[in-house]
Copies of this chain bind each other. A is one copy, B any other.
């Protein structure tokens, strides 16, 4: 099985870290194919940027998704997810949605803990977009954005434990999602210090991608009613234009 791990941000180090975590999660029988965006932004942090990056995600799937069994969009806001799931036959998983659905299977209620107040609004909107707002207990962050991301996992470790504890004990979150790529991989280190179940989004995303690939191989639904009709276009990257025209691409 091959899973395309698609980072819509242009930051290679972020891709490398997520690919390592993904490989540790899926074991040896699954191949992780990491791809980093070559256009767009170093780190998507607004809805305007997500609008653009979502289009790039479609391009990247069209180009790299031909022979994979599932795709992970490895950015918490799930840019392009809805359109990708509609257009392509291959299962496509968003990191936020995968984390949320997994959290909902682990407990009645969940919260997101992250490292910067700047992400509060967007993350809250991402969770609401999944439809599970009634089981969501909010986004918890330090009051200030850390000055640098270099040692972020060390710098905010105590804060995260404290925030997650508050979310669990005061706001009744059974499960805590550690949101944001810079926190990827921290769960094993802090799990014993938090009185709630912790979810690492990239791990959740690749495991869900495996599940979906097994349950619904891309060949399983040759005639989806919700697939857009073939359409001509102008000015799009060639593989994407072909996919939209139902040509050549069987993704």
Q: Interface on A for B, CB 8 Å cutoff?
A: 10, 25, 38-42, 45-52, 54-55, 58, 80, 82-87, 91, 93, 97-98, 101-102, 104-108, 120-121, 130-135, 165, 168-169, 172, 174, 191-192, 194-200, 203-204, 207-208, 210-212, 214-216, 220-226, 228-229, 231-236, 240, 244
**In the complex, are the beta carbons of B216 and A207 less than 8 A apart?**
no
**Interchain Cβ contacts under 8 Å between A and B, 16 examples:** A38-B235, A40-B235, A41-B231, A41-B232, A45-B229, A52-B233, A52-B236, A52-B240, A55-B55, A85-B108, A105-B212, A168-B225, A191-B221, A192-B222, A195-B224, A198-B216
> Smallest distance from the beta carbon of A203 to chain B beta carbons, Å?
6
Q: Would you call the interface of chain A mostly helix, strand, loop, or mixed?
A: helix
**In the complex, are the beta carbons of A51 and B83 less than 8 A apart?**
yes
- Cα–Cα, bound, A228→B204 (Å): 27
- Cα–Cα, bound, A77→B73 (Å): 24
> Smallest distance from the beta carbon of A158 to chain B beta carbons, Å?
17
